[in-house]
Every structure is written in structure tokens, then in C-alpha cells.
């Protein structure tokens, strides 16, 4: 019997060529190691929008997503992905295209964002460019009308830039409420992702898809454990507890 395995969605942010300034960014060097590991282990990279037809996807499917759209993703992620024949999805805050991630405070090289020209090039090369709202707000703090504006305008800006339909969304800071879910559907998105960890098939609502966060310094073995357990916390302490429970379960059931 072949075991059917749920797809898994990973969340990356910046991929700088230097030491990451943010806990959420991964050095380009380490990111390249993640890609080689995924390829060696037989994972197929698919786009976030491909999850709309999940039954057509290969057994070990992984969605690599990038939030915000950092400029260092071009050389640190897009080019290596292309070199290995892999693909990924970018969630872009449209007000920040070609400028800075204003919510991170003082601008630096690592807060610089991809330009429209780069996004178009990446889209043409087969990457998915999707929505992360316009101004990267905490949607749960906005009225339904304000959320409607953020979601519909960002979609229109990207569709105009790329001349294609944009159907995927990621909530900024992973924060959303019941309005966000209904507004996402009303404004024509087909799926949205959160930052709650778990397997793709553990969430039936297409506007609340789970993702595993990758943090600065996550080694290849950490990535391997995250892929196995679909969790952000894969510390040895937690893993030890997991295996201890399994041994305990086995003992109980063998009595």
C-alpha cells in the first residue's frame, strides 16, 4: 500500500547574501542547501495556486512561499530555483514594490523590495506572484470595508502588472479574522494562507491554509524535521517527547 502524504507549504522571507537581520530571513547560502536537500529527497515544488487542484499533484509536493517580496530573493532564491528547475510563490505587498518594507522600521539593504520589472520577469519564468495586500496591515484590526480595499486593490495592481489572474493571498503577520476570510472569497481569491503550522490537508477551509515557518539559521536537519512533523517547533526536546509518547503508546497497546 502506498502511503498518501499531504502537501506541505513552507514560508520563507528574505534570502540575503549576508548574515540575516531578521529572525525570519535565511542566508542565501543556507537556502541553496535547503533546495538541494528537497531535490535529493524527491520533493516536487509546486505553486500555491496548484493546491486548488491538489488531486493532480505528485506524492511528495512542497510549496515554497516567500512573503513580502525582498529584493535579495532575486539572486538568493529566484536564480537558484531556476537553476534547479524548481518553482515558488511570492506574496507581494503592492505598496512596497520597488521600495522598502516600511513596517520593519529603519530601511536597510535587507528591507529593500523587488521592483515591478523583476516581478514580471519572475512571473514570466513560471513563478507565481500573488497578493500580500497593499500596505501590509494587521487585517484583523481593520473594518471589513478597509480589508476589502486592501485585498481588491492589491489584486488589481498585480493583475495589471502581470496581465494574469491572481488567485492566491497571504495574510500579513498571519493575522486575520472572519471578515478577512469572507472578503478574500468575495474579492475573487481562491485560496489564502496563514502562519498556523500544519499539513495542507489538516485545514478544510481554503482561506486558512497552514504553513511551516522557516527561521534564520534553520539547518537542513531542522528543515528535514519540519517536513516530517509539519510543525514550527522541532526542537530536540519536543522530538524526544514525541518519540517517548510513541513508545509509551506502543507499550499500552501491546498490553
Instruction: State yes or no: residue 150 binds Zn ion (CB under 5 A).
Output: no
* Separation between Cα atoms, residue 118 and residue 154, nearest integer Å: 17
Beta carbon of residue 147, minimum distance to Zn ion (angstroms, whole number): 16
Give min distance, CB of 70 to Zn ion, in A.
10
CA distance 134 to 38: 32
Q: What are phi and psi of 209, to 5 degrees?
A: -65, 140
Under 8 Å between Cβ of 165 and 191: no
# of chain residues touching Zn ion (CB under 5 A) = 3
Which residue of the chain is nearest Zn ion when measured via CB? 67
Residues in the chain: 255
Nearer to Zn ion, 14 or 43 (CB): 14
Minimum distance of Zn ion from residue 149's CB (angstroms): 18
* Residue selected from 68, 71, 72, 128 as contacting Zn ion according to rule CB under 5 A: 68
Shorter beta-carbon distance to Zn ion: residue 213 or 230: 213
Cross-strand pairs, 24: none
**Residue with Cβ nearer Zn ion (61 or 195):** 195
Give the nearer residue to Zn ion in terms of CB position, either 137 or 172. 172
Q: Does position 172 bind Zn ion by CB under 5 A?
A: yes
By beta-carbon proximity to Zn ion, the closer residue of 22 and 187 is: 22
Q: Which is nearer to Zn ion, 61 or 65 (CB)?
A: 65
Q: Site for Zn ion (CB under 5 A): which residue of 8, 26, 67, 183?
A: 67
Q: Is 137 in the site for Zn ion (CB under 5 A)?
A: no
| Cβ 255 to Zn ion shortest distance, Å | 50
CB of 67 to Zn ion, least distance (A): 4
Nearer to Zn ion, 26 or 225 (CB): 26
Residue 79's Cβ-count burial label (10 Å; 0-12, 13-18, 19+) is middle
Stretch that binds Zn ion, among 41-49, 67-75, 150-158, 180-188 (CB under 5 A): 67-75
Binding piece for Zn ion, criterion CB under 5 A, among 34-42, 59-67, 202-210, 235-243: 59-67
Task: Write down the least CB distance from residue 252 to Zn ion, Å.
Answer: 44
Binding site for Zn ion (CB under 5 A): 67-68, 172
Amino acid at each position: 500500500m502506498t502511503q498518501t502524504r499531504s502537501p506541505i507549504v513552507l514560508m520563507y522571507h528574505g534570502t540575503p547574501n549576508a548574515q540575516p537581520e531578521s529572525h525570519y530571513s535565511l542566508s542565501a547560502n543556507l537556502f541553496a542547501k535547503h533546495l538541494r536537500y528537497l531535490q535529493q529527497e524527491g520533493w516536487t515544488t509546486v505553486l500555491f495556486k496548484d493546491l486548488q487542484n491538489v488531486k493532480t499533484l505528485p506524492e511528495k509536493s512542497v510549496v515554497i512561499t516567500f512573503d513580502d517580496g525582498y529584493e535579495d530573493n532575486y539572486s538568493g532564491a529566484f536564480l537558484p530555483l531556476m537553476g534547479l528547475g524548481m518553482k515558488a510563490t511570492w506574496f507581494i505587498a503592492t505598496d512596497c514594490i520597488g521600495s522598502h518594507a516600511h513596517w520593519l522600521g529603519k530601511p536597510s539593504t535587507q528591507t529593500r523590495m523587488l521592483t515591478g520589472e523583476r516581478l514580471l520577469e519572475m512571473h514570466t519564468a513560471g513563478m507565481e506572484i500573488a497578493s500580500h495586500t497593499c500596505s501590509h496591515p494587521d487585517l484583523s484590526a481593520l473594518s471589513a470595508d478597509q480589508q476589502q480595499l486592501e485585498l481588491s486593490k492589491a489584486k488589481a495592481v498585480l493583475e495589471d502588472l502581470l496581465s494574469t489572474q491572481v488567485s492566491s493571498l497571504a495574510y500579513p503577520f498571519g493575522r486575520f479574522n472572519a471578515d478577512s476570510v469572507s472578503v478574500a472569497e468575495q474579492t475573487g481569491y481562491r485560496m489564502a494562507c496563514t502562519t498556523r503550522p500544519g499539513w495542507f490537508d489538516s485545514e478544510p477551509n481554503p482561506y486558512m491554509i497552514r504553513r511551516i515557518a522557516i527561521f534564520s539559521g534553520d539547518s537542513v536537519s531542522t528543515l528535514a524535521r519540519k517536513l516530517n512533523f509539519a510543525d514550527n517547533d522541532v526542537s530536540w526536546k519536543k522530538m524526544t517527547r514525541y518519540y517517548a509518547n510513541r513508545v509509551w503508546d506502543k507499550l499500552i497497546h501491546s498490553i
